[in-house]
Structure 1
Amino acid sequence: MSKLHMRRRAILAAAPALVAAPWVARAQTGKPEKSKVVLAVGGKSALYYLSLTIAEKRGYFKEAGLDVEINDFQGGSKSLEALMGGSADVVAGAYEHTIRMQQRGQAIKGFALIGRGMQLAIGLRSDIAPKVKGPADIKGMKFGVTAPGSQTNMLVNFWAAKGGLKPSDIAIIGVGAGASVVAAVENKSVDGVSQADPALTILQEKGEIKIMVDTRTMKGNLDLFGGPMPAACLYAQPALLTKTPNTAQALATAIVRADEWLQTASPADVAKSVPQGYLLGDQKIYEKAFANVRETISPDGTMPAGGPENCLKFLAAGDSKIDPAKIKLADTWTNEFAQRAKKQS
């Protein structure tokens, strides 16, 4: 046995949770074991999930040998329910769900990163914003999120906690993503929103909201979380990764290709690649919104150092049920599939 082989075996033995040795040896060398895959997502039209749409529309899933059926739900918590209920094989959703489900004793694992920055922002209606000097002043207000329990909800909780408020001190209303967000602000059914672009940029351009918390740039993530904040990713129950590793590899490869394409694609080309309805009636604003968030899109699908730790701190600050001492972050993520996809590209 060569020294290199012995070293690799030692590494695998030292970090079984992160590397997940059972499927490493069975890296994708052939066709996916399961070519028809059902993928759940919550709010697919948001830039938060852009890599998923690019992988779909540019044919990356098909080129990887997959027929992917995408079911779009109102928010990330709904797509998580589909996975746990057995109606979906994989989810494009917030990485944080892997931590929250572990706290509940249920294992899910992320394996292809879409966003290395949260890409969300909290905005207050322009007629209300002047009254708010800090998070303590939002007590009793109504916030529009994609769906209760989703990352948009958690961001509001996190901000409220900085003002000494509990989640019960604010009202959370599910308003979906895209055009329904714009409508919720314009008809004043909510006082503020926690959302992704392009809806936020459209509301800003119209003068309808004032941004109070912004994670649409890497600087914003650094200021708020101290570093990268893993956002959208592909995650699944461990069985998908262990029993059908070629299928998991094909999914990761398609997402990594989309991540890489988005690093250099022109905003105009991106706008042409997504369904017309995603532009919300204004292609130029959509292009501007994409240009603003591009740097928060993962360049290669892998989890950045410190990302899981930042996410755990974020969750613990806004949810008293999360006990950091009981969370094994190594069980929530593997970089194996994304790293292999990088080598193939």
Structure 2
Amino acid sequence: MKKWLIGLMALILTALPLSACTQNNVQKIRVAEVTRSIFYAPLYVAISKGFFKEEGLDLELTTAFGGDKTMTALLSGGADIALVGSETSIYVEAQGSKDPVINFAQLTQTDGTFLVARTKPDEFKWEDLKGSTFLGQRKGGMPQMAGEFVLKKNGIDPQKDLNLIQNIDFANVANAFASGTGDYVQLFEPTASLFEKEGKGHIVASFGTESGLVPYTTFMTKKSFIDEKGDAVQKFTNALQKAQTWVEDHSAKETAAAIEEFFEDTDPELIETVVNRYKEQGSFAQNGILDEAEWENLQTIMEEAGELPKHIDHRTLVNTSFAEKAAKQ
């Protein structure tokens, strides 16, 4: 056998164990997000900037399109980690789960919806809503609960002072308003800013600013996954922290450019507008630590809406150790 061939085979044999070792060191993590939203910008920054890869993680991201579907994916083993509202973990716990769903890293810390009026007022006052037709969000969901909490906070009884419409599917709420239904509507971005740009409505208030800090969207997993693969959870949280810091330190324009690939059908300028709006009102959490005050605010909002099945202690469904360690690093 020629010397060069022998040398090549030796090189291949030497490289194979190294390659296998490298592959074995990479951990695959399946993440189910409740929807695709600019509201989750730090997650996409972590992917586009390679922060998960730096931590030795191979991230598989799927969009479940709904809180119930996201939680089903997690509970059934179809996903390792879920990105969804923290209220879902409370619902699961209240049903007597033997494998609790643990919130380990917070992504957003305010409500992400805005109040859009059909007619632009000279000066907006919440009392203007009295007697109006209001297109709200699905009953039992966090947007609806936060929305009603804010209305009550401003002296409006949603059931008595408004013609409240809540029977329209989430995907069709914006279309219903655009077609002429309602005087006011509660919308997520980028639809709210797009409507304003097209003259279909006017953003007059932020439910996020009004409702205070709350664990609106959180990464969570089953306790059994933490027990078995806590190292992967730590690596995931480390990558997220890098992205949260990056978003905080960079402009809305730079963040928009970093996540543009995840929103191919959205105008880059609109992405920048939305990112800037969320940055200005502090919607993006600067770290993943879900503190007790935010957890209690969440349950207050749920209780006000009549949707809190039972009070759950912060220590029962929240593990801050991963986020605290990531923040220190």
TM-score above 0.5? yes
Which residue of the partner structure matches residue 99 of structure 1? 90
Structure 2 SS opposite 1:40: strand
Cα distance, 1:87 vs structure 2: 1.4
* Cα distance in 2 for residues equivalent to 1:136 and 1:318: 19
Structure 2 SS opposite 1:154: helix
Instruction: Read off the aligned partner of 2:249 and give its amino acid letter.
Output: T
How many residues matched? 299
TM-score for both structures, normalised by structure 1:
0.74
Which residue of the partner structure matches residue 178 of structure 2? 186
* Cα distance in 2 for residues equivalent to 1:212 and 1:172: 24
The 3 A distance-change label for structure 1 pair 77 and 71 is same
The 3 A distance-change label for structure 1 pair 293 and 158 is same
Instruction: Read off the aligned partner of 2:207 and give its amino acid letter.
Output: T
Which residue of the partner structure matches residue 290 of structure 1? 275
- Give identity over the alignment, percent: 20
Which residue of the partner structure matches residue 294 of structure 2? 307
8 Å contact from structure 1 (residues 90, 234) kept in 2:
yes
1:84 and 2:75 correspond: yes
* Cα distance in 1 for residues equivalent to 2:314 and 2:24: 28
Cα distance, 1:202 vs structure 2: 2.0
Which residue of the partner structure matches residue 22 of structure 1? none
Cα distance, 1:338 vs structure 2: 0.9
Larger radius of gyration: 2
8 Å contact from structure 1 (residues 108, 238) kept in 2:
yes
TM-score for both structures, normalised by structure 2:
0.77
The 3 A distance-change label for structure 1 pair 245 and 279 is same
Which residue of the partner structure matches residue 37 of structure 1? 29
2:252 counterpart (248, 254, 267): 267
Cα distance, 1:340 vs structure 2: 1.2
* Cα distance in 2 for residues equivalent to 1:309 and 1:114: 17
1:110 counterpart (103, 117, 142): 103
The 3 A distance-change label for structure 1 pair 113 and 271 is same
Structure 1: give runs of 5+ residues left out of the alignment: 1-30
1:241 and 2:233 correspond: no
The 3 A distance-change label for structure 1 pair 47 and 299 is same
Q: What's the C-alpha RMSD, in Å, of the aligned pairs?
A: 3.5
* Cα distance in 1 for residues equivalent to 2:32 and 2:183: 29
8 Å contact from structure 1 (residues 124, 211) kept in 2:
yes
The 3 A distance-change label for structure 1 pair 281 and 90 is closer
8 Å contact from structure 1 (residues 51, 262) kept in 2:
yes
Instruction: Read off the aligned partner of 2:108 and give its amino acid letter.
Output: G
Which residue of the partner structure matches residue 166 of structure 2? 171
1:155 and 2:142 correspond: no
* Cα distance in 1 for residues equivalent to 2:251 and 2:158: 42
The 3 A distance-change label for structure 1 pair 277 and 319 is same
Which residue of the partner structure matches residue 14 of structure 1? none
The 3 A distance-change label for structure 1 pair 72 and 229 is same
* Cα distance in 2 for residues equivalent to 1:75 and 1:190: 24
Structure 2: give runs of 5+ residues left out of the alignment: 1-22
Structure 2 SS opposite 1:308: helix
Cα distance, 1:250 vs structure 2: 1.5
Which residue of the partner structure matches residue 16 of structure 1? none
Which residue of the partner structure matches residue 206 of structure 2? 214
Which residue of the partner structure matches residue 8 of structure 1? none
User: Deviation per CA, 1:1-27, whole angstroms, max 9, x where unpaired?
Assistant: xxxxxxxxxxxxxxxxxxxxxxxxxxx
